[in-house]
Amino acid sequence: MIFRLGDLAELVGARLYGDAATEVSRVDTLQDAVAGSISFLTNSKYQKYLKATSATAVILKDSFRQECPVNTLVCDNPHLAYARISAHMQPVPESQAGRHQTAWVSDSAVVDPTAWIGPGAVIEDEVNIGPEVHVGPGCVVATGVTIGAGSRLIANVTLCHGITLGERVLVHPGAVIGSDGFGLADDNGTWVKVPQLGSVSIGCDVEIGANTTIDRGALCDTIISDGVKLDNQIQIAHNVEVGENTAMAACTGIAGSTRIGKNSTIGGGVVVVGHLEFADNVHFSADTLVTRSFKEPGYYSGNLPAMPNREWRKTIAHTRHLDEMMQRLKELEKQVTTLMAKKGDEA
């Protein structure tokens, strides 16, 4: 499809410097772009590619505009503008309605006529599937599940019994939602399984990455609020609550009964122990080990465990000079020993 720069600028509220009638048909990186492409610059590390780009247009901040040799769409948040333009130029294909001949759907399931049930999918008893839902190949939707309008299960997704998905939820391949939480009681050295009687409640506009698992609650529900974005291979344990618009990167593990506030970010590989509570706007950098609650907004880092980011940076800086500091300390000890010996001789 072909798109005019003037229309794209209007779509994202950008200021266009160039020819509004110029057409583009694809998005690409600055360094790989060819004529007919629109690109973007959000990270100064890629500024070196700007002057030589072959893109037809670039989305960027005003501070970079004078360096750009081609048409520019100037805005305060180029990454956001790029995301919206990219989605506009390459929309998700519309899902067909109906069901594949190899799908199995229980007679007691309620499936909206506009929904699609793909090849090999299984829809069990008393499931409720809303309008324009897409259930991809190999998905299993267990008894009593509710899926809100416009949600998409890409492929091989498992929704265990009784869970609820809101509207416009996107679940990537291999995700498992509603599996039993890791609840065990110690009977003199033998582990006894604790029944997991809660469920999982997923809000609207949530995205769940490939092979991510979200466990059902032990008694109360595990809750993933509206707008949450989860990357691939994340583990969320039973009774965790994740606040609105929080985002987590890959390989993060959240232990049971932890409460995470709104508008927070959790970097890749973060480990959070159980029964903690975080305020809104709490941010952890990658590989942070979190062993205590954080009641104040802020940016936290480290595996020592976590501490305020500024304090962590100082600690790491000091750690890098430990060998030098040890040598200086030994020299000081020698000097002190020499001085003490002289005082002893003088006495």
pLDDT single digits (tens) 55-105: 999 999 999 999 999 999 999 999 999 999 999 998 877 778 999 999 999
Provide mean pLDDT across the span 307-334.
89
Q: Residue 153, SS3?
A: strand
From 134, 172, 238, 283, the catalytic residue = 238
* Active-site annotation holds for 238: yes
Cis peptide bond N-terminal to 131, omega within 30: no
Alpha helix ranges (H) inside the chain = 5-12, 78-89, 309-320, 322-346
Question: What distance in Å separates the CA atoms of residue 77 and residue 64, rounded to the nearest whole number?
Answer: 13
DSSP 209-234: -TT-EEEPPSSSPEEE-TT-EE-SS-
Q: Which residue has the higher pLDDT, 290 or 312?
A: 290
3-89 maps to which CATH number? 3.40.1390.10
* Residue bearing tokens 């779509």: 11
Nearest to 27 by CA among 47, 8, 46: 8
What confidence score (pLDDT) does residue 342 get?
A: 80
Q: CA dist 57 to 5, 137, 238, Å?
A: 8, 39, 48
What confidence score (pLDDT) does residue 6 get?
A: 96
Amino acid at 342: K
Q: What angle do CA 37, 16, 26 make, to 5 degrees?
A: 15
Mean pLDDT check: name the lowest of 43-52, 291-300, 306-315, 336-345.
336-345
What confidence score (pLDDT) does residue 347 get?
A: 62
Contact 194, 230 (CB under 8 A): no
Domain ranges within the chain, ordered by starting residue: 3-89, 111-310
Helices 309-320 & 322-346, crossing angle to 10 degrees?
Answer: 70
pLDDT greater than 90 at residue 156: yes
185: pLDDT confidence band, cut at 50, 70 and 90? Answer: very high
3-89 against 111-310: fold identical: no
Identify the DSSP state of 278. B
pLDDT greater than 90 at residue 305: no
- What are 27-53's pLDDT values in tens digits? 999 999 999 999 999 988 999 999 999
Question: What distance in Å separates the CA atoms of residue 249 and residue 346, rounded to the nearest whole number?
Answer: 67
pLDDT greater than 80 at residue 289: yes
What confidence score (pLDDT) does residue 315 get?
A: 87
pLDDT greater than 70 at residue 307: yes
pLDDT greater than 90 at residue 341: no
What is the average pLDDT score of the chain? 95
Helices 5-12 & 78-89, crossing angle to 10 degrees?
Answer: 120
What confidence score (pLDDT) does residue 320 get?
A: 85
CATH superfamily label, 111-310: Hexapeptide repeat proteins (2.160.10.10)
Nearest to 60 by CA among 79, 46, 45, 85: 79
Dihedral angle at the C-alpha atoms of 254, 257, 262, 268, nearest 10 degrees? 0
- What are 237-267's pLDDT values in tens digits? 999 999 999 999 999 999 999 999 999 999 9
List, in order, residues 6 or more apart from 74 with CB less than 8 Å away.
14, 15, 16, 17, 60, 61, 62, 65
What confidence score (pLDDT) does residue 302 get?
A: 85
Identify the DSSP state of 294. B
